[in-house]
């Protein structure tokens, strides 16, 4: 049939482009050559022809099929005149194939960019593909590691407060007395109603539970001892500290945290004002002053609540209750509770201010640090109370 082809058909065949020299696409148009997949065809025993795009998106099934292609060891000719493009994935795949069979590439008719890329990848063909670095969020660190770092930061903060306090003692005129008395009013006088009511109800509960048991043994009068020791040594300082931790400790964290977010603390440091001297010491001194007084007030309210319940449940009159209370209770019992409250005040103030200074970035962080300050303050207050109980038992107090 080829012999009977008319002359126009023969002319068209002669004008057809060679398979090794594909026509260049017109500018602005997209042809099939622009999206041709990567291909590797064996022309001779030691000669292979590459064509298409040897890029990650056009390799197709070649990464699975290429390792099975047999290749002679030694020099191998790779004709790259049909290459339309190559990236590091294609070059890496080709180099791994050559290394697998112990062959060395003789690159012929390669585009300059593809040739440079092939040579750059040649030295790293045996290296595994790099993995993206895994970023570890600060919040995903081990809990023990975070707790240890926070404990160290707390110790450093306590050291700064101690040094600042020593400086204020050496120079009393630097102390912010007005700010301290303001904190006395907010943390002390304004907290009297809630602490008084809570302690009164707690005294009622203690007396009621004790009366229910003591009535069976005819030991009604000992409810005075129960209420007195429970309120003065344990419940009054503990309940006062817990209320102040939720009330004043959270306020300290929220105030300082908001100042950190709005960069007021940075502004203080810029004009050479120590934030600890302005924001921490007045709160610490005020709370150390008011919490023991609040504890004494809680003692009175709790004992009064127990007195009311003893009269209504056990028939013990007010005069008899007071006389027994004065005979049994000693000054050391009251001082034990007051001494505890002083330590609790220091713990609450330091934790509240410390968590406020650790606020970072946003209003959401203010809420998180405020919650953390309340939880840590209450926890450490209870731990300190347990430590006091063990120490007093050892000392016989």
CATH number, span 34-122: 3.30.750.24
User: How far apart are the C-alpha atoms of 221 and 242, rounded to whole Å?
Assistant: 30
Confidence band for 135, pLDDT divided at 50, 70 and 90: low
Least confident of 39-48, 124-133, 166-175, 293-302: 124-133
Q: Give me Rg for the CA atoms of the chain.
A: 42
Structure-model confidence comparison of residues 264 and 144, the more confident one: 264
- Return the domain boundaries, the chain: 34-122, 172-395
Nearest to 276 by CA among 155, 157, 149: 157
Instruction: Please check the confidence at residue 3 and state whether its pLDDT lies above 50.
Output: no
Q: Are 62 and 52 in contact (CB under 8 A)?
A: no
Q: What are the Cα distances from residue 175, in Å, to 91, 124, 270, 274, 349?
A: 72, 67, 20, 12, 17
Helix residue ranges per DSSP H, the chain: 7-15, 62-65, 88-100, 112-122, 143-170, 177-187, 192-214, 223-229, 236-244, 250-261, 264-270, 275, 281-314, 318-328, 331-357, 363-395
Instruction: Please check the confidence at residue 15 and state whether its pLDDT lies above 70.
Output: no
Span 42-89, pLDDT tens digits? 777 778 888 888 887 788 777 777 766 777 777 888 888 888 888 888
**pLDDT at residue number 127:** 54
**pLDDT at residue number 143:** 67
User: How far apart are the C-alpha atoms of 243 and 378, rounded to whole Å?
Assistant: 9
**pLDDT at residue number 374:** 93
């Amino acid at each position: 049939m080829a012999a009977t082809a008319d002359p126009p058909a023969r002319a068209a065949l002669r004008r057809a482009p060679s398979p090794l020299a594909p026509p260049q696409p017109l500018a602005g148009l997209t042809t099939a050559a622009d999206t041709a997949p990567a291909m590797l065809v064996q022309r001779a025993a030691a000669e292979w022809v590459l064509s298409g795009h040897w890029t990650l998106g056009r390799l197709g099934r070649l990464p699975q099929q290429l390792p099975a292609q047999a290749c002679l060891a030694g020099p191998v000719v790779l004709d790259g005149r049909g290459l339309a493009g190559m990236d590091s994935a294609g070059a890496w795949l080709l180099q791994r194939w050559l290394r697998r069979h112990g062959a060395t590439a003789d690159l012929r008719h390669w585009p300059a960019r593809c040739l440079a890329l092939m040579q750059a990848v040649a030295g790293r063909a045996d290296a595994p593909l790099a993995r993206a670095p895994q970023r570890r969020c600060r919040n995903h660190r081990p809990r023990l590691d975070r707790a240890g770092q926070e404990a160290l930061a707390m110790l450093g903060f306590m050291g700064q407060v101690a040094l600042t306090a020593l400086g204020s003692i050496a120079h009393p005129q630097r102390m912010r007395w007005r700010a301290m008395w303001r904190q006395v009013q907010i943390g002390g006088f304004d907290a009297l109603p809630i602490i008084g009511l809570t302690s009164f109800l707690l005294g009622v509960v203690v007396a009621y539970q004790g009366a229910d048991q003591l009535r069976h043994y005819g030991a009604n009068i000992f409810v005075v001892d129960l209420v007195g020791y429970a309120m003065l040594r344990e419940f009054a300082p503990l309940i006062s500290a817990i209320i102040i931790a939720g009330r004043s400790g959270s306020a300290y964290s929220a105030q300082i945290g908001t100042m950190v977010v709005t960069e007021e603390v940075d502004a203080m440091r810029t004009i050479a004002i120590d934030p600890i001297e302005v924001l921490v010491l007045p709160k610490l001194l005020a709370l150390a002053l008011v919490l023991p007084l609040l504890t004494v007030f809680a003692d009175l309210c709790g004992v009064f609540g127990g007195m009311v319940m003893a009269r209504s449940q056990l028939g013990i009159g007010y005069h008899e209750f007071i006389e027994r209370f004065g005979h049994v209770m000693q000054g050391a019992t009251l001082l034990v509770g007051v001494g505890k409250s002083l330590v609790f005040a220091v713990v609450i103030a330091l934790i509240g201010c410390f968590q406020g200074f650790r606020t970072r970035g946003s209003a959401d962080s203010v809420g998180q640090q405020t919650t953390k300050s309340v939880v840590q303050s209450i926890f450490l207050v209870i731990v300190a109370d347990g430590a006091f109980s063990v120490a007093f038992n050892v000392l016989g107090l």
